[in-house]
Amino acid sequence: MRAYDLVELAGRNLREAGLRNSLTTLGIGVGVASLVAMLSLGIGLQKLATRQLGRSGLFDTVVVTSRQDGRGPRFAQAAPVTGQPKPLDDAARHSFEQMANVAEVYPNFSAVGDIRLETNKTGNHFTVVGTLPQSARNSESFDDVQGTFFSSNDAQEAIILSDFGRELLELPREPRGVDVKLTPDQANQLLGKYIVLRYHKREAGESAPLSGKTTKKGERDPDDVDSADDPQGQDQQSFNLVPQQLKLKIVGIVSSEPNRGLRQGRTPVFLPLALAESLDMVQAGELWSTLRPADTKTYIALIVRVGKSKAVEQVEEDIKKQGFNTFSILDASKGITRFFKVLDMFLAIFGSMALAVASLGIINTLVMAIMERRREIGIMKALGASDGDVKRIFFFEAGTMGLLGGAVGTGLGWMIGKLINLGTNIWLQRQDVQPEKFWYVPPWLVLAALGFSILVSLFAGLYPASRAARLNPVEALRHD
């Protein structure tokens, strides 16, 4: 039988029992819809999670530290070292920047300083100061920034957290952990205004006294590294801590810490990266820096951001080979991917159950059709239809119901997903949480749902079709 005859005959049969076939098709549609809705939700959640995590800077970040530990080279042997430990200096930074897939390298900068509003002579706030590279402008924290990002990488500008803004305005503190946005009015009192940052700058100086006590206000005494243990005896080069002041313009206020990544503690004030590096501030907890010669520059830690999260492992491996310690939370990211794979699987199983029920509907409908069309099948066989012809007609009917049901179901599932998303977002907005897209229907899901629906329907059609084909024409034509 030619294809168009097959289509015509099957189509005619489908139309003949229009209501029954429509209901069966709708059943498949509901099954497919549940599958599509479940999977699109799973995929959407996964996308949301990876987007959030990706933008949090956790998963594309490798933290590099030197194998020379903070207390001096003589302890470094304790670490599993192959070869001579290398200093984490500009040469190392440059070599990381040259590696494939590395988007940027910047120091993990954390200093302390006193900050006050220029107009307020008395209200000093002792606080941690961090830096942001230019790439941080894509961080999710800047989704709802009040103001702007830094105008350049070395501009004398600052971005502050909104609760630090409250401190500067001397408003009562909000409970910890709550991201509170400033009102536009409050923000206007800060944006474009100047703050004064007081800090300590390292400056090459005269030979230090043997005890190395160069303490100033606010600095810890370097853990008495006494001269008896020092193989060099006396440090010939030393530095002074010179108090400095710097005026910075507040350009942006964010409610959560940008590029939080693996940073520890709370950092409420951020400077442009190049500006902060040029200031040569004494950094918090930087014991080794208090001992190292003033004319060399090493980093406590460098943050290496990798362009593709898939390449993190390779980059980490390559940096280790260069003789540095590295840390990333790649394994955690793998765990999350695995979690979503399992979640998707369960959602798909639940979604498929409805489709399985629908496929029983197809079997039922077609078996009923065989009973009704028993005589017709007998006639067709008497007129020369082969078993294969009869089988193909029923198979085609099942496939058509699958295709139509799949199309209806995909549309329905898409709508259900959109409704769930809409409803959730309305609820979220009432809770003052930013709306999100939980639900995502990728093109492959549409095609897969259609294909799966047709496949399931054809599978359901197997039994009725072969039963129809096996029908004995003599019995089918026997007078009732």
Partner 1 sequence: MATNGTEFESVRTVSVVRHYKLGRTLIPAVDGVSLAAGRGEFIALLGASGSGKSTLLNLIAGLDRPDSGAIVVEGADLATMTSEQLAQYRRHTVGMVFQSFNLVPAMTLYENVELPMRFAEVKRRERRARVIEALERVGLSDRMKHRPSEMSGGEQQRAALARALANRPKLLLADEPTGNLDSKTGTEIMDLIRELNRTLEMTVIMVTHERSLAERYANRLVFLADGKLLSESINELEKIGVTR
Looking only at the bridges linking them, the beta strands covering 125-132 and 110-117 are antiparallel
Nearer to partner 1 among residue 278 and residue 472 (C-beta): 472
Q: Which two tokens stand for residue 316?
A: 């980490």
Query: Is the sign of the CA dihedral 259, 263, 268, 270 positive or negative?
Result: negative
C-alpha 85/C-alpha 65 separation (Å) is 11
The yes or no reply on residue 391 touching partner 1 (CB under 8 A) is no
Of 97, 144, 179, 389, which lies in the binding site for partner 1, with binding defined by CB under 8 A? 389
Q: How far apart are CA 373 and CA 216, in angstroms?
A: 99
Alpha helix segments (H runs only) across 174-270: 184-190
Pairing of strands 110-117, 194-205: antiparallel
Binding mask 336-375 for partner 1 (x = CB under 8 A): ---------------------------------------x
Closest alpha carbon to 300 in 83, 141, 69: 69
**Site map 276..315 versus partner 1, x via CB under 8 A:** ----------------------------------------
- Judged by beta carbon, residue 19 or residue 178, the one nearer partner 1 is 19
- Beta strand 102-107 with 157-161 is unpaired
The rounded distance, in Å, linking the Cα atoms of 208 and 34 is 75
In this chain, which of 97, 230, 376, 436 binds partner 1, going by CB under 8 A? 376
CA separation, residue 450 to residues 33, 309, 446, 457 (Å): 11, 32, 6, 11
Contact call for residue 19 and partner 1 (CB under 8 A)? no
Q: How far apart are CA 159 and CA 389, in angstroms?
A: 75
Question: Cβ 15 to partner 1, closest distance in Å?
Answer: 9
What count of residues does the chain have?
Answer: 480
344's CB contacts (< 8 A; 6+ apart) are 39, 42, 43, 46
Binding mask 27-46 for partner 1 (x = CB under 8 A): --------------------
Kindly state whether residue 11 participates in binding partner 1, applying the rule CB under 8 A.
no
User: Binding to partner 1 by residue 172, rule CB under 8 A?
Assistant: no
Distance of alpha carbon 24 from alpha carbon 453, whole angstroms: 13
Minimal distance, residue 16 CB to partner 1, in Å: 5
Q: Two tokens at 282?
A: 């004494």
Q: Using the rule CB under 8 A, is 420 a contact of partner 1?
A: no
Stretch that binds partner 1, among 229-237, 299-307, 327-335, 378-386 (CB under 8 A): 378-386
Residue 351 CB, shortest distance to partner 1, in Å, is: 37
Q: What is the DSSP letter of 71?
A: T
Q: Which of 72, 205, 451, 473 binds partner 1 (CB under 8 A)?
A: 473
CB of 25 to partner 1, least distance (A): 20
Q: Is 385 in the site for partner 1 (CB under 8 A)?
A: yes
Q: Is 2 in the site for partner 1 (CB under 8 A)?
A: yes
Candidates 64-72, 129-137, 241-249, 385-393; binding stretch for partner 1 (CB under 8 A): 385-393
* C-alpha distances in Å from residue 462, one per residue of 23, 362, 396, 475: 20, 10, 11, 22
| C-beta closer to partner 1: residue 12 or 308 | 12
CA distance 142 to 138: 7
Question: How far apart are the C-alpha atoms of 40 and 235, rounded to whole Å?
Answer: 65
Residue in the structure block whose two tokens are 């009102």: 183
171 binds partner 1 (CB under 8 A): no
- Nearest CB to partner 1, comparing residues 217 and 479: 479
Q: How many whole angstroms separate alpha carbon 383 and alpha carbon 46?
A: 57
**Nearest 5 degrees, angle CA 384-CA 389-CA 391?**
135
CB of 364 to partner 1, least distance (A): 21
Say whether residue 382 binds partner 1 (CB under 8 A). Answer: yes
Q: Which is nearer to partner 1, 247 or 478 (CB)?
A: 478
Task: Answer yes or no whether residue 14 interacts with partner 1 by CB under 8 A.
Answer: no
Exactly one of 148, 386, 429, 434 binds partner 1 (CB under 8 A); that residue is 386
Closer residue to partner 1 (CB): 202 or 391: 391
7 forms part of the interface with partner 1 (CB under 8 A): no
Question: Shortest Cβ distance from residue 467 to partner 1 (Å)?
Answer: 15
What are 315's two structure tokens? 């980059």
Is 381 a binder of partner 1 (CB under 8 A)?
yes
5 makes contact with partner 1 (CB under 8 A): yes
Q: H or E segment at 429?
A: helix 387-430
What is residue 448's three-state secondary structure? helix
The answer to the question of residue 18 lying near partner 1 (CB under 8 A) is no
Q: Cβ closer to partner 1: 78 or 383?
A: 383
What is the residue whose two structure tokens read 């899901």?
445
**Binder among 7, 11, 16, 427 for partner 1 (CB under 8 A):** 16
Q: Which is nearer to partner 1, 51 or 470 (CB)?
A: 470
Which sign, positive or negative, has the C-alpha torsion 363, 366, 372, 377?
negative
Contact residues: partner 1, CB under 8 A: 1-2, 5, 9, 12, 16, 375-376, 378-389, 473-474, 477, 479
